[in-house]
Amino acid sequence: MVINSEVNKMDIKIMNILAIFAHPDDLSIFCAGTLARWANEGHNVYALCVTNGEVGTLRRDLTKEQVAAIREKELRTANEIIGVKETLILGYPDAGFINGSELREKLVYYVRKYKADRVVTFDPWVSYEVHPDHLIVGRMAAEAAAFAAFPLLYSHQSKENIEPYNCSEVWFMGLLGHKPNYFIDISSTLDRKITAALKFEATLELLANLFAPKIDPSNVSEKELKKLTKHANTLYRSLAEVIGKSMNLTTAEAFYVLKTLPGHFDNFQQSISELLGNPPEKPKIY
């Protein structure tokens, strides 16, 4: 058995995977099961949170600075559970108006620095997404993935030994503007996803709001945490079950994946085929 698993490990090309998201709890909600699987398989998973998430609470007894500090701690704890190798926070204001071109330059820097083969982010082309941070982060992350290969773009980065890199895929998570074309079986990592999600007080607030309004999320006893864990299990499990069901999987997370070419997505043929009324390609399961 040991020999087989060693051989299997050797068969897998180890990738650098960079998840770029807006707020500390985004990953645990949208893709933690998948990231945990990739980390288990030996890939290098990096997490880059663009804002401090300092308005993401319903509490009134804290300052933005206190919330930012709490959420940073929560993010680092959750990412350790998921198996993330390194977590970075860029510190842009939460729910503000992020300067896209400035953010893109920074994201290109990190795609190059980590030699990211795969970027995971939000779909900026989704309908009815009201949060501007999700839209701008998704858009700039996708552009960074597609543009990091151009040597004359932000060429000053090479002074810091940051060289052009060809990131080959973008995985859009969460709310999607296109039917998913990848389903990841997360039955082996769903428990870790839930444990990670429960590290966020904002998640506890949400759960308490939905299921146990008498619980004060800022002061949760052991017994209450057990109760909230049960509700988190119900909530996350049923969501993962609904996604998995369409593909005959017990639990899954869904993504829309596009390959990149320098400056573009490699989707011309597929898009034209779909415009002509042909069905989208059959989704892949992993």
Q: Provide, rounded to whole angstroms, the least separation between the CB of residue 111 and Zn ion.
A: 20
User: With respect to Zn ion, which residue has the nearer C-beta, 26 or 205?
Assistant: 26
257 DSSP β-pair partners: 171
User: With respect to Zn ion, which residue has the nearer C-beta, 83 or 174?
Assistant: 174
Cα–Cα distance between 164 and 152 in angstroms, integer? 9
User: With respect to Zn ion, which residue has the nearer C-beta, 22 or 204?
Assistant: 22
Binding site for Zn ion (CB under 5 A): 22-23, 26
Q: Which amino acid is at 219?
A: N
User: With respect to Zn ion, which residue has the nearer C-beta, 56 or 83?
Assistant: 56
Cα–Cα distance between 281 and 268 in angstroms, integer? 13
Residue count of the chain: 286
Q: Provide, rounded to whole angstroms, the least separation between the CB of residue 222 and Zn ion.
A: 29
Q: Provide, rounded to whole angstroms, the least separation between the CB of residue 94 and Zn ion.
A: 9
Q: Provide, rounded to whole angstroms, the least separation between the CB of residue 284 and Zn ion.
A: 26
User: With respect to Zn ion, which residue has the nearer C-beta, 123 or 185?
Assistant: 123
Q: Provide, rounded to whole angstroms, the least separation between the CB of residue 179 and Zn ion.
A: 23
User: With respect to Zn ion, which residue has the nearer C-beta, 23 or 118?
Assistant: 23
Q: Provide, rounded to whole angstroms, the least separation between the CB of residue 198 and Zn ion.
A: 17
SS3 per residue for the chain = CHHHHHHHHHHCCCCEEEEEECCCCHHHHHCHHHHHHHHHCCCEEEEEEEECCCCCCCCCCCCHHHHHHHHHHHHHHHHHHHCCCEEEEEEECCCCCCCHHHHHHHHHHHHHHCCCCEEEEECCCCCCCCCHHHHHHHHHHHHHHHHCCCCCCCHHHHHHCCCCCCCCEEEEECCCCCCCCEEEECCCCHHHHHHHHCCCHHHHHHHHHHHCCCCCCCCCCHHHHHHHHHHHHHHHHHHHHHHHHCCCCCCEEEEEEEEEECCEECCHHHHHHHHCCCCCCCCEEC
User: With respect to Zn ion, which residue has the nearer C-beta, 26 or 54?
Assistant: 26
Tokens 């079986």 belong to: 185
User: With respect to Zn ion, which residue has the nearer C-beta, 23 or 199?
Assistant: 23
Q: Provide, rounded to whole angstroms, the least separation between the CB of residue 21 and Zn ion.
A: 7
Q: Provide, rounded to whole angstroms, the least separation between the CB of residue 209 and Zn ion.
A: 17
Q: Which residue is nearest to Zn ion (CB)?
A: 23
